[in-house]
A and B are shown apart, each in its own frame.
Chain A
Amino acid sequence: MGFFRKIIDGLKKTQQNIGFKLKQLFKVGVFDDDFFDDLETLLLSGDVGAAATMEIVDRLRDRLEETKITDPDRAMSELKGILVDMLEAEPFAAMPPAVVMVVGVNGVGKTTTIGKLAARFKKEGKSVVIAAADTFRAAAGEQLEVWAERAGVRIIKHQEGSDPAAVVYDAISSAKSRKTDIVLIDTAGRLHNKVNLMEELKKINRVITREYPEADKKNLLVLDATTGQNALSQVELFNEAVDVDSVALTKLDGTAKGGVVIAIKENFDIPVGFIGVGEGIEDLMPFDAESFVEGIL
């Protein structure tokens, strides 16, 4: 098929262009339309998305015109500055007693993230109880049990198919009576456009607010870095249901860049709290805007 061949060749070229990467791009020191076109392609390839990409390119164009910068290094740090500005935020914090509910669509790595979060909090000297409120997916509870064991924390688990809100209720009671610092709630993955399942999340949210008003309540949305622009829709609908405080961006150890978080921050003012960079229990790190930007470019 000639057309496929062409696309593949075209892609190779594109990839080589990206392979050039920013340094080469800026090295020329000529900031003309071709340059901005290439920059646009570079950003789009990192899942930054059309709207945010245009915004970034426009901002850089203005900055360079304004400052009359021609030095490649300075121009590049202008771009980085723009991106860091767009992404920077307070680090994620949960003050004990706290409840951290972890939500997200199917397969983004919620359960794994919970395991890693539990280990992180434990390392910080906090006591943790995990609520296995994903009572839907086959063997989700078992998977979480393994993680709880690895992290060395307690877990409250009911039978598959039981009411998730009841699991959360029990975990909160247990945390109160044993003075546990943090309750970590694993929820079932759900596509954000499923109204019933989003209602279920709201119900869990209500249970937390009612039963544990003194707790610092945080909702963490787990996003898969390989996800494209649909992440915006995920954030919008989860935020509508339960007020998302922070995003955990997982699977950044692959080749995906997760650039969509720029648009997320721009549109919803929801920052990235953590990034997941591997399967190990230590592979969850606090988000750092500068190193993230280096990664995208």
Chain B
Amino acid sequence: MALFSGLSDRINHVFSKLKSRGSLTELEIKQAMREVRVALLEADVNVGVAKDFIKNVTEKAVGEEVLKGLNPAQQVIKIVNEELTELMGSSQSKLAVASKPPTVIMMCGLQGAGKTTMCGKLGLYLKKQGKKPLLVACDIYRPAAIKQLEIVSGKAGVGFFEMGQQDPAKTAKEAVAYANKNGFDTIIIDTAGRLHINEELMDELRRVKASVDVAEILLTVDSMTGQDAVTVAQAFDKALDITGVIMTKLDGDTRGGATLSIKAVTGKPIKFCGTGEKMEDIEVFHPDRMAGRILGMGDVLSLIDKAQQAVSQEEAAKFAKKLKEQSFDLNDYLAQFENLKKMGDIKDIVGMLPGAGKMKISEKDIDEKEIARFKAIIQSMTPKERADCRILNYTRKKRIAAGSGTSVQDVNKLVKQFEQTKELMKRFGKSGKKGMKLPF
């Protein structure tokens, strides 16, 4: 449902009314920020967090120069996106390891956040890293929760430990002894889902924490959570001093504003995300992706892309000019290789050559391995050689081949292709023949 019409459209609209260039004025920022605020709220960022965020970014943005290639709206989004990414922290998936095994990881969270499934995913993740994890069933309330964890541990191929409905603190303690005896180096404790305002159950978690030496306490949060995320995270953090957060169900279409809220109020790192139904569906948290998603994903990303394109078009224009003037040398060729992954660049360049607009180049025309080889070859050349490849004699070629781990034939091939490209470019510059394939 399009309750939320693209943020970039709305911000563009704000700026279309205010035709200013140069630096961003306070009025412009304020108007744009109103739209950003709505976007954040629609993404379920906490209303208080959104307010503070907006205030902070507004202060930063006023007077900021509008970068070349960007319009003011794009500049604002760029700032917002950067601030959002920064606020969300870095990729911090490292889990603490206890000096004396086993390392105990304790999971906690509300009902239905996805703790039990996440225990299995985390178990498999650690197993792949060479650990030997043991899942411990401490949810003694939900019907069949222990059974579910047992099945999950089977699917993940990791150990499983349960002591029925007895006191979870006692079970945790016994699990450590069991792990030591049976060679498990990591313990993942599944606890019952509980409301953060249920003092009795929160106290139970405190007792589990006190009963064993806990290295990590991870709060599992449903990424679809709304305004309440802040209250919940604060309550769990206050009671247990959590060490990190795991966001689940990110394979849905939620914008995931809760992520930002939680990070903002607890300051604890978001470590992992659950991204699917299978045991392998666990990912390290990427703050940049999350920022784009909260702002309205594709919408903003494409905008930033466009902005970057605008910059690279400028570069491309410079390049095209060089081609026309025929001062194109191996250094430029190398620079082009560096950019080759972004297909847009070549298309841009070709597009700027008269008559070459309709040429079709697809990803398939580019052999990644060959490009890597060519890059190595050029990088093994002296500046003089790069500027003028006509000086390449057999001795030089042999040296270059040895330096780049290729053969003289490869060097010859590169030189030939470079000459062809240059020739082709020259012809494009003059007549604009169609349908020719670029020999990259």
Residues of A within 8 A of B (CB): 1, 3-4, 6-8, 10-11, 13-15, 41, 44-47, 49-51, 105-109, 136-140, 142-143, 145-147, 191-194, 224, 226-233, 236, 251, 253-257, 260, 263, 267, 279
Q: Which of B38, B113, B144, B225 contacts A146 (CB 8 A)?
A: B144
Q: Shortest beta-carbon distance, B162 to chain A, in Å?
A: 13
B226–A7 touching, CB < 8 Å: no
B227–A228 touching, CB < 8 Å: yes
Does B289 touch A at the CB level, under 8 Å? no
A11–B42 touching, CB < 8 Å: no
Contacts of A45 in B (CB 8 A): 47, 227
Q: A107-B111, A143-B144, A228-B257 are in contact. Are A6 and B47 (CB under 8 A)?
A: no
Q: Which of A143, A255, A263 contacts B228 (CB 8 A)?
A: A255
Contacts of A191 in B (CB 8 A): 249, 251-253
Does B69 touch A at the CB level, under 8 Å? no
Complex: A279 Cα to B141 Cα, angstroms: 10
Q: What 15 additional pairs, Cβ within 8 angstroms, besides A44-B47, A138-B155, A194-B251?
A: A4-B265, A7-B49, A10-B48, A45-B47, A107-B111, A107-B249, A147-B143, A192-B252, A226-B222, A228-B225, A228-B226, A229-B255, A231-B226, A255-B231, A263-B3
Complex: A145 Cα to B255 Cα, angstroms: 35
Closest A residue to B230 by beta carbon equals: A11
Indicate with 1 or 0, residue by residue over B195-234, a CB within 8 angstroms of chain A CB atoms.
1110000000000000000000000001011111111100
Complex: A108 Cα to B152 Cα, angstroms: 20
B253–A3 touching, CB < 8 Å: no
Contacts of B231 in A (CB 8 A): 255
A229–B42 touching, CB < 8 Å: yes
Closest A residue to B231 by beta carbon equals: A255
A228–B224 touching, CB < 8 Å: yes
Q: Shortest beta-carbon distance, B42 to chain A, in Å?
A: 5
Complex: A105 Cα to B252 Cα, angstroms: 9
Complex: A145 Cα to B230 Cα, angstroms: 35
Complex: A7 Cα to B48 Cα, angstroms: 8
Complex: A120 Cα to B38 Cα, angstroms: 41
Contacts of A260 in B (CB 8 A): 226
A-B pairs with beta carbons under 8 Å apart, 16 shown = A1-B267, A45-B227, A105-B252, A139-B144, A140-B148, A147-B143, A191-B253, A224-B112, A224-B222, A227-B224, A229-B44, A230-B224, A230-B255, A232-B1, A251-B110, A251-B111
Does B31 touch A at the CB level, under 8 Å? no
Q: Shortest beta-carbon distance, B240 to chain A, in Å?
A: 17
Q: Shortest beta-carbon distance, B82 to chain A, in Å?
A: 14
Contacts of B144 in A (CB 8 A): 139-140, 142-143, 145-146
A254–B42 touching, CB < 8 Å: no
Would you list which residues of chain B between 100 and 149 have a CB under 8 Å from chain A? 110-114, 141-145, 147-148
Complex: A139 Cα to B162 Cα, angstroms: 15
Complex: A106 Cα to B224 Cα, angstroms: 11
Complex: A226 Cα to B255 Cα, angstroms: 15
Does B254 touch A at the CB level, under 8 Å? yes
A105–B49 touching, CB < 8 Å: no
Q: A107-B114, A254-B195 are in contact. Are A51 and B3 (CB under 8 A)?
A: yes
Q: Shortest beta-carbon distance, B267 to chain A, in Å?
A: 5
Complex: A45 Cα to B43 Cα, angstroms: 13
Q: A142-B144, A255-B228 are in contact. Are A229 and B43 (CB under 8 A)?
A: yes
Does B51 touch A at the CB level, under 8 Å? yes
- CB-CB nearest 6 A-B residue pairs: A228-B226, A107-B112, A228-B44, A146-B143, A138-B151, A142-B144
Q: Shortest beta-carbon distance, A239 to chain B, in Å?
A: 11
Does B46 touch A at the CB level, under 8 Å? yes
Complex: A14 Cα to B222 Cα, angstroms: 23
B228–A226 touching, CB < 8 Å: yes
A50–B224 touching, CB < 8 Å: no
Closest A residue to B112 by beta carbon equals: A107
Closest B residue to A191 by beta carbon equals: B252
Closest B residue to A267 by beta carbon equals: B1
Q: Which of B3, B52, B227, B251 contacts A47 (CB 8 A)?
A: B227
Contacts of B229 in A (CB 8 A): 226, 228
